[in-house]
Chain A
């Protein structure tokens, strides 16, 4: 068949274009940041800058599993906040604060939170968007219940995340954890199956995929990444704060879209989300260094984001349904 030969090379080309755009965007923003503030990634400030980036990067990556599997977890921000509060208010004061204990506990907490959302979607058949919104409210509510006003954290191990841990910046360890786990899982059928469920749940079901389980695992994975974000945030803030969850959820969704993971499922990945989050972080950083009146900051921020997302979808169009 003649038409087959014309298909060769399409796969790689399509996949790389999204990343190229977001990568170029991040690189350009990086250079502009550097011009405005040459000191922001010098040896001394690099760990701090990475630590500031970490919560953005982690919430963005945390949103990816739910989105590629066809859902949308709005509660990633509150889950990050939950992890932050639980660490500062519960674990550190009660002697469970050592990293060997605290990290597994928080990861389990995050995974359990995500799994509950996943189960509501899979087993109770609540639409993913509704589940996401409800989880957003419920977890935010719990956060406020536990902690009405921001609370200072005692000096603890998360402070090291702002500096070097051995030869590497501490925050880098957190940022690298999800991609490493993702790459390991890529060696199993799980990630591909998550994409299949997101691309077409009826097809996956009819092909014998256990769709319910896959969704629960995807949400749990996202919850786990969000919990890591909570640890990163504790390092940056030195405190716990129950009011920031929603903002992080919204940033995460913007970062994921910017990074070529469209809401709807079946496409995208962690690398794009990481680049998207980096771009957003750099935009924010830039806006803070140039003199924009503070009350206009969010307006400009939002407008720039829209432009960036529109450009990314124009330059790297998603697959075309039914293209022959």
Chain B
């Protein structure tokens, strides 16, 4: 056994992140760790990476236990190279410096500058097919490319024993992901092992040799490749049967439901050389935005949210039209936006769950000039039920919740505004299956109540099963539009890659 983990436990204050985790990794295998958010996967990764020290249990690498000197530095020296779920970068530093961060000593370079450039370039080309300029500050890159740089940081270290990929594929487009998988296969062929964590069942099916299932901090089972069917994994993880339970598509109904126009876009140009886009959104419609990363779907969503640099976005209500020119205006008109990067754009990490929830509706609970917590809690309780938010006390910091529950609180914050149009940017990114299902259910309910929903998603399945129609973006413009009846994985993917034949 290359890695043997025995009875690992770790608590943060009151929260037991990991209770009893045991599994082992063979040399040369891809070992998936699956579990819902809050099941302890990330804590496990951080212990293996040396960021956290376990309260109990042992970790042995090639039969040598880790000891009190355990730190990221010592674990890297032992051949354990992690890619963390949070894309950790030093924003103002160049891509090159980010990729090589921590690889050198303090006074001595491990490689010459030339070698560093070449190796970094090679790693990025392996992942992207082409390398971005290495001297650009990494903060200029979109999230997906930052994640790629995080992976490149691990790859240039030439993981000798164990490469850990924690949700590393969540922001990648399909092509980059496929290239990453090719690299993973190379690693395992070279006798290194890969610990692979993902919320995407298709990825686990594709790449994992074995899978260990975590549930509420304990390892419940390790399955071989042929036993690890998605259905079985999901059952082990949560007891639920399949991805879309409780959210069965009923497409005929949904198409008819689209009501009067609530939002119109005219001549929206996302890139100087791209064709202008016209768009209409009806009340009660669920519209998906999709495409390969960085092909304009993001920009389109921000254009709807008052950020159109050319063309017009017009909000229609009771026959009156208003041009939306800023996000403040959009907000006043009853549009809300759930941002993509939860950590930097949505959460106030030091504030309580209650305050995070009430952030968009600060005056709501004021009576006689005084804010009443009890009123906030009553409002929160309503959404807690509607979205099945799992939380203990509303006074605890938001960071005590799992990612999925954090996202639900953020969504609740915006629903509290009582919007007529809901814009979401990949809201289910990195959240667990049950939480996703709750979000889907909620979106359906909202649509039935007449709320128009526009949602950017990177998950094919949710686009196919949830949406009334999906707009596929390519090269900065609208490439194809699919009604729910013509939606399939094949049609979407061919649209992503610019194949007309998918446009049925």
Contact = CB atoms under 8 A, between A and B. Distances in A.
A292 interface: no
A203 B51 contact: no
Interface stretch (B133-141, B355-363, B381-389, B485-493): B133-141
Contact of B88 (A203, A267, A324): A203
A210 B106 contact: yes
A314 interface: no
Which residue, A203, A214, A319, has most C-beta atoms of chain B within 10 A?
A: A203
A7 B136 contact: yes
Contacts of B475: 2
Given A3-B294, A189-B109, A196-B97, A321 B139 contact: yes
Interface stretch (B33-41, B124-132, B179-187, B437-445): B124-132
Interface in A268-319: 318-319
B496 interface: no
A1 B101 contact: no
Interface string B80-92: 0010100011111
Given A7-B141, A14-B137, A203-B89, A1 B129 contact: yes
B294 A8 contact: no
Interface string B17-60: 00000000000000000000000000000000101000000000
A318 B140 CA distance: 11
Nearest to A213: B106
B92 A266 contact: yes
B42 to A, nearest CB: 12
B410 to A, nearest CB: 17
A133 B470 CA distance: 57
Given A195-B93, A196-B97, A319 B137 contact: yes
A103 to B, nearest CB: 23
A285 to B, nearest CB: 33
Nearest to B74: A208
Most interface-central of A9, A195, A213, A214 (chain B CB within 10 A): A195
Nearest to B88: A203
Given A189-B104, A210-B106, A199 B90 contact: yes
A105 interface: no
Interface in A207-237: 207-210, 213-214, 217
A319 B140 contact: yes
A10 B140 contact: yes
A35 interface: no
Given A203-B89, A206-B84, A319-B140, A217 B97 contact: no
Contacts of B133: 4, 7-11
A190 interface: yes
- Of B91, B143, B476, most buried by chain A (CB within 10 Å of CB) is B91
A323 B73 contact: no
Nearest to A268: B92
Given A11-B133, A321-B344, A208 B92 contact: no
A214 B73 CA distance: 14
A209 B140 CA distance: 23
B65 interface: no
A198 B128 CA distance: 29
Given A3-B294, A7-B141, A196 B91 contact: no
Nearest to B77: A208
Interface string B151-188: 00100000000000000000000000000000000000
A195 B92 contact: yes
Chain A interface size band reads: 35 or more
B90 A204 contact: yes
Contact of B72 (A2, A206, A267): A206
A189 B128 contact: no
B270 to A, nearest CB: 12
Contacts of A207: 72, 88, 101-103, 153
The secondary structure that dominates the B interface is loop
A189 B106 contact: yes
A210 B101 CA distance: 11
A75 B143 CA distance: 38
B113 to A, nearest CB: 10
A181 to B, nearest CB: 13
Contacts of B103: 207-208
Given A199-B91, A209-B101, A10 B72 contact: no
A324 B295 CA distance: 12
A2 B133 CA distance: 13
A192 to B, nearest CB: 5
B334 interface: no
B89 A192 contact: no
A42 interface: no
B137 A324 contact: no
B101 A196 contact: yes
A207 B84 CA distance: 10
Nearest to A190: B106
Nearest to A265: B92
Interface string A72-93: 0000000000000000000000
A320 interface: yes
B12 interface: no
B341 A199 contact: no
Contacts of A318: 92
B190 interface: no
A267 to B, nearest CB: 5
A189 B103 CA distance: 9
Contacts of B298: 324
Contact of B102 (A12, A204, A323): A204
Contact of B106 (A188, A198, A205): A188
Contacts of A7: 132-133, 136, 140-141
A198 B91 CA distance: 10
B88 A210 contact: no
Interface centre among A8, A192, A322 (most CB of B within 10 A): A322
B105 interface: yes
Contact of A11 (B84, B90, B135): B135
Given A1-B128, A193-B104, A199 B76 contact: no
B97 A3 contact: no
A1 B93 contact: no
Nearest to A209: B102
Contacts of B107: 188-190
B88 A1 contact: no
Given A190-B106, A193-B104, A195-B97, A200 B88 contact: yes
9 contacts: A7-B136, A11-B94, A193-B104, A196-B102, A203-B101, A208-B103, A319-B92, A321-B344, A324-B143
Given A14-B137, A196-B98, A203-B90, 7 more contacts: A7-B140, A10-B136, A11-B135, A199-B93, A207-B88, A319-B92, A322-B345
Q: What 7 A-B pairs have minimum CB-CB distances, sorted nearest first?
A: A207-B102, A199-B90, A208-B102, A189-B104, A11-B135, A203-B88, A266-B92
Interface of B: 49, 51, 72-73, 76, 82, 84, 88-94, 97-98, 101-109, 128-133, 135-137, 139-143, 153, 294, 298, 341, 344-345, 475-476
